[in-house]
Structure 1
């Protein structure tokens, strides 16, 4: 019994897009999301860590 080892074009690794090309389309949205999360954490940390020591 022999197995059919032929591949279709979709299974051929040479015909697949590189992973970087697939991820490039969502890069801007991911950057905006990261910046928003970073600003949120910076404001939260600032309000709890530095504001109590502010003497008017």
Structure 2
């Protein structure tokens, strides 16, 4: 993962007031801290299986 991605994510979260930060990866699962912000790294297959869709 590139620091540029984390830096952009943190800046966007501060602008939007978002506290839960997540990066969807191909196969990496981890939690890290970047500039005092916790960022959760989640594999795509896990995210797809746990994300609830809102249907009719």
Report the TM-score, using the length of structure 1 for normalisation. Answer: 0.28
Higher helix share: 1
Q: Which has the higher contact order (CA 8 A, sep 6+)?
A: 2
Relative to total residues, which structure has the larger strand share, 1 or 2? 2
Over alpha carbons, which structure has the higher Rg?
Answer: 1
What TM-score, normalized by structure 2, do the two folds share? 0.28
